[in-house]
Structure 1
Amino acid sequence: MSKRKSKANPRPDPSPSPGEPPADGRALAVPTIEEAGPSLPGRMPILPLRADVVFPQTVVPLVVNRPAGMRLIDEVYAAGGDRIIGLATQRSPELDEPGPAELYPTLCVGSILKMLKFPDGSTRIVCQGIARARLIGLEQTEPYLIGRVEPLGERAEQGEELDALVHLVNGLFNRLSENVPEELQVAAMNTRDPARLADLLGSSLPFSVEEKQAMLAELDVKARLMTLGQFLTRHLNVMELSTKIQAQVGSEITRAQREHFLRQQLKAIQEELGEREPEAAEARELERKIRRAKLPPEARAEARREIDRLAGMHPSSAEYSIVRTYVDWLASLPWARSSTDHLDLKRARQILDEDHFDLEKIKERILEYLAVRKLKKDMKGPILCFAGPPGTGKTSLGRSIARAMGREFVRISLGGVHDEAEIRGHRRTYVAALPGRIIQGLRKAGTNNPVFMLDEVDKLGADFRGDPSAALLEVLDPEQNATFRDNYLDIDFDLSKIMFIATANMLESIPQPLLDRMEVLELPGYAEEEKVLIAQRFLIPKQLESHGLTEKHLTIGDDAVRRIISDYTREAGLRNLERELAAICRKVARKRAEGKKGATAVGADDVPSFLGPPKHFREVAARTGVPGVATGLAWTPTGGEILFIEATGMPGKGALTLTGLLGESMKESAQAAMSYLKTHARQLGIDPARFAKTDVHIHVPAGAVPKDGPSAGVAIASALISLFRDEPVRRDLAMTGELTLTGRVLPVGGVKEKVLGARRAGIKSVLLPRYNEKDLTDLPEEVREDLTFRGVESLDDVVAALFPEPRRRASRSKSGTSRAARGSKSKGSGVPGRAPR
C-alpha cells in the first residue's frame, strides 16, 4: 500500500455525521484515485458491505463482524499509511462469503480513518470515501478478498441545464427539511459542487440499496442529478400519501366518536317516545329462535343472559358480533330435533344388501342394534370402528347404515388433525372462535341422532396444541358423552343418541384408551371371486352411468375382470379395479364421441389393448425353487402380501448378516431361528460343523420398504434349513408363524388377509400355526377349496411339509433316526378345501 505525507493530505475530524462532509462545505482534503496516479495500486483489499453504499467525499461508520472482514481491517490498519480499501456492496445481504458475481461492479475506494474493537467481537470503523472505481475481478478470496480495480472519471458539462437540475434537487430537498437532520441541511446549503451535492444527498437520504448503487454507478453528473430528482419526487409522494392516510384514519375515529354520541342521544329520545331500536328487534328475533329451539334449562338461561347483554351493546362494538354469533349457534343447534328410526329389519337388510356385497358381520351387527332399539327406545348409540385395508367400503358402508336407519349422515375426516380444538372447539375469548367439528357436524345434520362417521381415526396426530385423540375419549364413551361440553358453547350437549362410526386402516396407531371405547369390526380384503361379483353388480354399472354408456354400448366379461384383477391390480380393496374399469369406459366413450358406432365386448384377450401391458405378474415360480429361499406371508395396512426370505452361505467364521431394512422383531426372529438350527442340527439332517465355518447372509427383498414383526420366524427358519440341507422348498408353499427358541410355532394375526394375498400370488399350500385354524372359518368357501392348509405346532411339523415328497424320502434315508428325518406326524390334514382339525 502506498503512503502519503500527512502535510499533503491532512485528515479531517471523523466526528461529522455519517455520510456528511464538514459543515463549512469545503471539499475533503483527500486525493482522488486519479490524483494518486501510479502511487495508488490497481490491486487492493475488498470489504463486502451487506446493506451500505459508500459515496466519494463522505465519512461513514461501518460495523464489521465477519471473520474475513475483521482480519482485513486488522492487517490494513496495522500497515499504516493511507489504509486504502475497496468498499463493494453485496447484491444479497444474507450471503456470508460473496463472490465476484454477488458484488456490484461499481464500488467506492475509501480510507480507514479510525478503528474500534467492541466486547461483542465486532469491529467498528470510520471510513472516508475517495473516488469511484470498477471491480475488474478477484485475485484472492482467502483469507479475505483482494481485487483489481480501475478508476472511473466523472463527466460534468457546465451549463444552464446543470444549474436547473441543481435548483430542482435543492427545491425537492427543502420540501423534506422537516424530516432530515439540521446538520444535513447546512451541509447541503454549503455544497457548491453539483457532483458532491448528488453524492451527499444520495448517501444521506433513506433510499434503497439498489437506488443508491444506481447513483454510485452513474458517471454523468447531470444524469445522476436527474436520477436523484426522480428518487426525491417518489419519496415525497410516499410521504404525502402517508400523511393523507393518517389524516383520514384520524377523521374516521373522530366520526365514530361523534356517531356514538348521536346514537346515545337518539336512544334516549326513543326511550322517551316509547320506540324500540332496530337492535331491539334483532334481540326479539333471537328470542324467538331460542324458544323454537327448545333448549334445556341450562342452555336457555345462558342464552337469555347473552341476549340481555346484546340489547345493551352498540352494534359497532367488537363484543356485539361475538355475542350475536354465540346466541345464533345456540339457537341453530338441534337440541330437541331427532329423526325417526326405521325399525323394519327386512327393509334395512334389503338396503344393506343393495349397497354392499358380503360383509355379513357388519350387517348382522346393524340389524342387532335396530332390533334392540325396537324393544328399548332409549338405547344409547353404539360406538363402532370399521378396520380394514383401503378400498374395502368402510366409508360408503356408513352412508348405507344411515340410509337403512333413516338417519342423517355426517362425516368428518380426522386424517392429519393435530389440534385438540378441532374436536372441542375454541374458547370465545379467541378471535374468530368456532365450536369443534362435532358440534359443527350436528348443526349441519339438523338432528341430534345422526350417523356420525369419524373417518381415518388412526391418522390423528398430536403436537403442542394438544392431543385430539384424548379429546375423543369423552365423545366416544357412552357413559360420558351425554354431558359433552364444547369449549365454545361451554354448555353440556347430549351426544348419547348419536351412532358413532370410526374407520381405520390399522389399529396399532390408535391409542389404547380410545380403542377400548370402540367395538372393532374388521373388514378384510376381498377374494377374486368376490371382486368379480362386486364388479359386475356395482362397479361396472356405476362406471357405465358415469361415462354416459349403457350395456348396449359396452360389456365386460367375467374373464376380463379376472385378468384385470390378477394382472393390473394388486390390492385387498377395489379402488384400483374401479380405476381400471373406468379407463376402459373412457376409451369406449371416446370412440363413440368420434362417431364409431356398435357395441364393444371386452374379453380377457382384449384387456391389454385397453390397459396396456400387465403391471403385475406372479413371481413365485421365478423367485423360488432354489435352496435357501422360502415364501413368507406379511400383513400390511393395504392387505396381505407374500414375502420372500433369501439365505445364502459363504466360507467364514459363522457370522450372521441381516439386510432388507428389517425391524428389531424380525432380526430377533432370525437370530432365534439360527440358534435353533445350531442346537438341533443333527435332528434336522444338518452337519453341525458347517455352522462354524459358514457365514450366513439373510436378505428380504424390497430393501427400501421397512419390515418388522415376529410372524416371519417360520419362513426364516425354513430358508436356513433349505440352505444347509441344499434342498429347495416347494414352489407353491407359503408359511407364517412366530418361532420360539425351542421350536414352537406361536399364533399370529391377520391370517385372512395373508391367505388372500397368498392366493393372489399363486400360492397353493399354506402352513400356519395350529392355533390360527379358527381364523380360516372367515374365508370364503372358494378360497378354502382353492388352497391347502396345514396347521403346525413345532418346527418339526414345518420341516415335514417343506420339501417335495421324493426329496423328503431321500433325506430320511440319509439323516438316520432324527425326528425331522423320520417325519413327525403332522396334525394338519393337508386336504385341499378344508381347514385342518
Structure 2
Amino acid sequence: MPLRSDLVFPQTVVPLVINRPSGIRLMDEVLVGERLVGLASQLHPEIDDPGMNDLFPTICVGTVLKMLKFPDGSTRIVCQGQTRAKLVRVVQTEPYLIGEVEPLEEVEEEGVEIDALVHHINRLFQRMVDQSQQIPEELQVAAMNTREPGRLADLLASSLPFSIEERQIMLGEINVRLRLERLSQFLSRQLAVLELSTKIQEQVGSELSKAQRDHFLRQQLKAIQEELGEGDSENPEVAELWERIKTANPPEEVQREAERELERLVAMHPSSAEYSIVRTYLDWLALLPWDKASKDRLDLRRARKILDADHYDLEKIKERILEYLAVRKLKQDMKGPILCFAGPPGTGKTSLGKSIAKALGREFIRVSLGGVHDEAEIRGHRRTYVAAMPGRIVQGIRKAGTNNPVFMLDEVDKLGNDFRGDPSAALLEVLDPEQNSTFRDHYLDVDFDLSKVMFIATANVLDTIPSPLLDRMEVLNLPGYSEEEKTLIAQKYIIPKQLEAHGLVAADLDITDHAVRKVIADYTREAGLRNLEREVAAVCRKVARRRAEGKKKAVTIGPGQVADLLGPSRYFRELADRTGIPGVATGLAWTPTGGEILFIEATGMPGKGGLTLTGLLGDSMRESAQAAMSYLRSHAKLLALDIPKLSKTDVHIHVPAGAVPKDGPSAGVAIASALISLFRDRPIRKELAMTGEVTLTGRVLPVGGVRDKILAARRAGIRTILLPRHNEKDLVELPADVKADLTFRLVDTLDDVLPKLFDDLPAKAQPVKPSSGRVRTAGPKKSAASDEPKSKFPGQHPRRRP
C-alpha cells in the first residue's frame, strides 16, 4: 500500500484515507485473508502509480483493523503497525502492488548509555511540552508510561511534527541506541525552533509595551508643554484642525468632544487605520455651520413680489409665508415652520420651495426621499462601520453652509421600510420643533440644533405617510389648475422659459391663447403642468429647426396649426358619445393626478333579481352599488318603478376602464341615478354629473376631492353638477371663471336628486321622504384610481362616521 504523505511505525495505530482504485481493491482482498499489508511511504507524493524506485526501502508491515467506505468514493482504514521490513523487490503491479519483503529484527542493547539517552530524550520532550501548547496530554501520559526504549522512540517519532524524511530515517534504524541518538538530534532541533519562536513573540510583545510607554510619555510631554505655554509644534496639521474647530464656534459639549478626539489623534501614528477615521470625524465637526446663519430678508413687499413672479395663484401658501415673515420680524427667535405641500404632480411643489428660499434670502437644499429604505440615510451610520458617514440631514446642512436653510424633503410619501429600519420613524425627531433642537446624528454623536431650519415636505398623497409624522407637519394643499389658469401660466411662465431654453426670442414665436387652450384640451390630461410644458417644448423645437434651416420669418401658431406640429389629438371629450342612453350616469372621481369623470353603466336582462358588478371595483364601491339597489327595491312603488320587473331582472353594473382599480363610496348617487334611468327607460341629461355617498335610507353624504372633481367635469364639457349640501363650503375655493361656467345643485337626499336627472319628470313619480336612521359605511381603500381622496386631506373629507 503506497502512502503519499504518511508513515506508520510498529506498535502504533494510524487512520489512513485511500482514494486510489488499486488501494481500494487491495483492501477488499486483504480483509478476506490475514489482513496483513505492507505500508510503504512514497519518495514523491505527487506520483499516482509508484513503482519500486518511487518507494522508501524500509516499510512497516501492519494489520488492517477496520475499514469504512464513504459516499464520495474514498475508503478509510485503521491500521496497526506490527514490524519493520525491507522491500526487496516488486513482483506484481496489477491490479495492485505485490512486493517481496525481508523482516528486520531490532538490535536492542542495555546499559547506562541507553538509560542516559532515554533520560535525555524525556527531558527534551518535557521542555517541548513547556514551550508548546499544542502537544496533547495523552501523548505526555503515554511517553511517561513507556518503559521500552525502542517503543518510546517510535511513539515520539510518530507523534511529533517531524518531516517524512526524518521519520523514515528512524523507521529504517534497527539499532535502538542509534535510533535514540537520531531522535535526540531531531528533538533538539525542534526545541530550538520553538524557543526561537517564543523569543520572537516576546520581542513583539515588548515592542507593544514600548508603544504604550511612548504614549504615556507623550501625554506627559504634552502636559509639560501646556504648563510652559508651548503649543504642539510637532504636528502642525493637528494645530490647524483645532483652529478650524474653534473658528466654527461649536457648543461647549461639541468642543469638549473635539478635544477628546484630538488627544486621541495626537497619540496615534498617521499610518494607522484609526487615524484617518478620527481625522475625517474632526473635519466634519469643523465644516458644520454651528454658529453661521444667513440673515433673513424681512421685507414683505419684496417677498410677495418674488413669489408672484415665480408662481401664479397659490394664495394660501403665499399668505402663509408672508405671515411667517411678519411674525419673524416681530420675534427674532421664532422656530422655523414645518410645512407639507400636498397635491398632484406638476403643480409646482418643488419649485415653490426654491421661491420661498429666494424670498427669505436663505440657502435652499433639496433631498429626495423617494425609495429610501435605510434609517441610516436620515440619522447616519455609527463610526464603527467601514465608510461610515452622516445622514442626509447633516450632509444637507453642511452643503448649505448655514444652520437656517430652507430644507426640502421631496417625495416624503414614498419612503419605504425594511429590515434596515423605518426612515419615516427617524424623521419624527427631525420634524418636531420640540425635539429637533437636540437632533443627534449617529455619526456625529453630538447634538445639532435644527430648530432654525425651515423644513418643507412634498407629497402627492397623504395616506401613505404615517399618522405621527403627518401630525408634525402643517399641510398646505396645492390643487389642480383650471383651463384658464393653465393658459395664463403658459403665456406668463412656460412659453418664455421654453423660448429661452431653445435659443428663441419672443419675436420668433407667438402661440395664441386659443392654441394653448387646444393643446391643454386635446393633448394633455393632468392636474399639473408638466405635460403642457413638454408640448410647448415640442413646438419650440420645431420652430428652432426652421430657423436653423434659414427660415427667419416669425411664426404665429393658432388652433389650426397645432395638429400640424403635434400630430392628431390624443384625448377627446367622450361625454356626448357615452351619455344620452338609459342606464348611463356620469360620476366624478378623484385620482392622485387630479380629477376624472366616471361613467356608470347599468343594463338589465331577464333573471331573478341578481346584481353583477364589474370594472375592477373595490369593496366600498361594491357596497355603494348594493345600497343603491336595495334602496330602489324598497322604494320601487313610490319611485314609479315596475315592481314585477325589478324582481325578474338581473342587473349588471359596469364602470368602464376596467383595468383601472376603482374604490370609494362617492359614486353612490351616480349608481342610484343609473339604476333609476335604467328602470325608467329614460336617459339622464347629457351635461349633468354628480357625486355623493348614498345611504340605505336615501341620504346623500359629503365626499372629498370636490375641487379636482369639478375641474375635471368642466374639462369634459359638464355644465351642471349635483353636490351634497355639506360640500357647499368647498365651492368657495373655486376660481370665479369656473363658477361662472357651471351650475351647482345641492342635494340632501335622493328626493332632491330625482327631479334634476331628467328633462321632465311625470307627476306620478313622487319619491317618498327617506326614513330616519343611520347605517355603518365602509371607508375608502387605497387604489390606483379612487373616487375620493383619503381622509388625511384636511378639510376635504368631512364625512360623518356613525
TM-score (norm 1): 0.66
2:701 to 738, 746, 759: 746
1:682 to 619, 637, 654: 637
The whole-number CA distance in structure 2 between the counterparts of 1:314 and 1:439 is 29
Q: Does the alignment pair 1:410 with 2:365?
A: yes
- How far did residue 694 of structure 1 move? 1.0
Q: Is the 8 Å Cα contact of residues 683 and 820 (structure 1) preserved in structure 2?
A: no
- How far did residue 594 of structure 1 move? 2.1
1:600 to 540, 555, 579: 555
User: How high is the sequence identity, in percent, across the aligned residues?
Assistant: 70
Matches within 5 A, 1:293-312: 293-312=248-267
Q: Is the 8 Å Cα contact of residues 585 and 670 (structure 2) preserved in structure 1?
A: yes
Matches within 5 A, 1:700-719: 700-719=655-674
Q: Is the 8 Å Cα contact of residues 800 and 820 (structure 1) preserved in structure 2?
A: no
1:561 to 483, 501, 516: 516
Q: Does the alignment pair 1:578 with 2:533?
A: yes
- How far did residue 477 of structure 1 move? 1.1
2:280 to 320, 325, 336: 325
- How far did residue 713 of structure 1 move? 0.9
1:354 to 309, 316, 319: 309
Matches within 5 A, 1:100-249: none
The whole-number CA distance in structure 1 between the counterparts of 2:209 and 2:549 is 74
Q: Does the alignment pair 1:614 with 2:569?
A: yes
Q: Is the 8 Å Cα contact of residues 642 and 757 (structure 1) preserved in structure 2?
A: yes
- How far did residue 324 of structure 1 move? 1.2
Q: Does the alignment pair 1:756 with 2:711?
A: yes
With over 3 angstroms needed to count, the CA separation of the structure-2 counterparts of 1:353 and 1:258, relative to structure 1, is farther
Q: Name 1:424's counterpart in structure 2.
A: 379
One-letter code aligned to 1:287: W
- How far did residue 595 of structure 1 move? 2.2
Deviations 1:176-215 (A, max 9, x none): xxxxxxxxxxx9x9899xxxxxxxxxxxxxxxxxxxxxxx
Any unmatched runs of 5+ in structure 1? 1-14, 26-56, 58-115, 128-186, 193-255, 822-837
The whole-number CA distance in structure 2 between the counterparts of 1:767 and 1:629 is 16
With over 3 angstroms needed to count, the CA separation of the structure-2 counterparts of 1:264 and 1:481, relative to structure 1, is closer
One-letter code aligned to 1:330: L
- How far did residue 261 of structure 1 move? 12
The whole-number CA distance in structure 1 between the counterparts of 2:210 and 2:267 is 16
- How far did residue 690 of structure 1 move? 2.0
1:541 to 496, 503, 511: 496
With over 3 angstroms needed to count, the CA separation of the structure-2 counterparts of 1:778 and 1:362, relative to structure 1, is same
Any unmatched runs of 5+ in structure 2? 1-15, 27-48, 50-67, 76-89, 96-203, 771-802
Deviations 1:372-410 (A, max 9, x none): 000011111111111110000000000000000000001
With over 3 angstroms needed to count, the CA separation of the structure-2 counterparts of 1:279 and 1:356, relative to structure 1, is farther
One-letter code aligned to 1:347: R
- How far did residue 257 of structure 1 move? 12
The whole-number CA distance in structure 2 between the counterparts of 1:375 and 1:656 is 65
Q: Find the residue that maps to 2:667 and give its secondary structure.
A: helix
With over 3 angstroms needed to count, the CA separation of the structure-2 counterparts of 1:476 and 1:22, relative to structure 1, is closer
Q: Name 1:649's counterpart in structure 2.
A: 604
Q: Name 1:9's counterpart in structure 2.
A: none
Q: Is the 8 Å Cα contact of residues 585 and 599 (structure 2) preserved in structure 1?
A: yes
Q: Name 1:832's counterpart in structure 2.
A: none
The whole-number CA distance in structure 2 between the counterparts of 1:585 and 1:258 is 79
The whole-number CA distance in structure 1 between the counterparts of 2:343 and 2:570 is 24
The whole-number CA distance in structure 1 between the counterparts of 2:484 and 2:19 is 86
Q: Name 2:329's counterpart in structure 1.
A: 374
Q: Name 1:80's counterpart in structure 2.
A: none
Deviations 1:438-491 (A, max 9, x none): 111100001111111111111111111111111111111111111111111111
The whole-number CA distance in structure 2 between the counterparts of 1:721 and 1:445 is 63
Q: Name 1:504's counterpart in structure 2.
A: 459
Q: Name 2:469's counterpart in structure 1.
A: 514
One-letter code aligned to 2:715: R
Q: Name 1:71's counterpart in structure 2.
A: none
The whole-number CA distance in structure 2 between the counterparts of 1:803 and 1:462 is 52
With over 3 angstroms needed to count, the CA separation of the structure-2 counterparts of 1:266 and 1:117, relative to structure 1, is closer
One-letter code aligned to 1:749: G
Q: Name 2:446's counterpart in structure 1.
A: 491
The whole-number CA distance in structure 2 between the counterparts of 1:451 and 1:550 is 33
One-letter code aligned to 1:574: L
Q: Does the alignment pair 1:664 with 2:619?
A: yes
Q: Name 1:628's counterpart in structure 2.
A: 583
With over 3 angstroms needed to count, the CA separation of the structure-2 counterparts of 1:258 and 1:525, relative to structure 1, is farther
The whole-number CA distance in structure 1 between the counterparts of 2:608 and 2:554 is 70
- How far did residue 359 of structure 1 move? 0.6
* 274-283 or 414-423, which deviates more: 274-283
- How far did residue 269 of structure 1 move? 11
With over 3 angstroms needed to count, the CA separation of the structure-2 counterparts of 1:365 and 1:20, relative to structure 1, is same
2:341 to 350, 372, 386: 386
Q: Name 1:692's counterpart in structure 2.
A: 647
Q: Is the 8 Å Cα contact of residues 218 and 267 (structure 2) preserved in structure 1?
A: no
Matches within 5 A, 1:260-271: none
The whole-number CA distance in structure 1 between the counterparts of 2:713 and 2:93 is 95
Q: Is the 8 Å Cα contact of residues 632 and 735 (structure 1) preserved in structure 2?
A: yes
Cα root mean square deviation, aligned: 3.5
Q: Name 1:528's counterpart in structure 2.
A: 483
The whole-number CA distance in structure 1 between the counterparts of 2:513 and 2:392 is 44
The whole-number CA distance in structure 2 between the counterparts of 1:389 and 1:601 is 32
Q: Name 1:458's counterpart in structure 2.
A: 413
The whole-number CA distance in structure 1 between the counterparts of 2:728 and 2:398 is 48
The whole-number CA distance in structure 2 between the counterparts of 1:715 and 1:633 is 9
Matches within 5 A, 1:462-477: 462-477=417-432
One-letter code aligned to 1:312: A
Deviations 1:112-138 (A, max 9, x none): xxxx999xxxx77799xxxxxxxxxxx
Q: Is the 8 Å Cα contact of residues 16 and 22 (structure 1) preserved in structure 2?
A: no
With over 3 angstroms needed to count, the CA separation of the structure-2 counterparts of 1:487 and 1:24, relative to structure 1, is closer
With over 3 angstroms needed to count, the CA separation of the structure-2 counterparts of 1:639 and 1:191, relative to structure 1, is farther
Kindly name which structure, 1 or 2, has the bigger radius of gyration based on alpha carbons: 2
- How far did residue 658 of structure 1 move? 1.0
The whole-number CA distance in structure 2 between the counterparts of 1:501 and 1:653 is 58
Deviations 1:747-781 (A, max 9, x none): 11110011011111111111111111111111111
The whole-number CA distance in structure 1 between the counterparts of 2:523 and 2:206 is 75
Matches within 5 A, 1:273-312: 280-312=235-267
The whole-number CA distance in structure 1 between the counterparts of 2:597 and 2:233 is 73
The whole-number CA distance in structure 2 between the counterparts of 1:277 and 1:589 is 66
Q: Find the residue that maps to 1:767 and give its secondary structure.
A: strand
One-letter code aligned to 1:627: P
One-letter code aligned to 2:601: E
Deviations 1:479-532 (A, max 9, x none): 111111111111111111111111111111111111111111111000011111
The whole-number CA distance in structure 2 between the counterparts of 1:491 and 1:518 is 25
One-letter code aligned to 1:306: E
- How far did residue 356 of structure 1 move? 0.3
1:734 to 689, 701, 711: 689
Number of equivalenced pairs: 593
TM-score (norm 2): 0.69
Q: Name 2:320's counterpart in structure 1.
A: 365
Q: Is the 8 Å Cα contact of residues 388 and 522 (structure 1) preserved in structure 2?
A: yes
Matches within 5 A, 1:55-94: none
The whole-number CA distance in structure 2 between the counterparts of 1:364 and 1:718 is 42
Q: Find the residue that maps to 1:534 and give its secondary structure.
A: helix
Deviations 1:518-573 (A, max 9, x none): 11111100001111110011000100100011122211111110000000000000
- How far did residue 263 of structure 1 move? 10
The whole-number CA distance in structure 2 between the counterparts of 1:671 and 1:541 is 53
One-letter code aligned to 2:300: L
- How far did residue 277 of structure 1 move? 8.7
Q: Is the 8 Å Cα contact of residues 342 and 459 (structure 2) preserved in structure 1?
A: yes
Q: Name 2:739's counterpart in structure 1.
A: 784
One-letter code aligned to 2:502: H
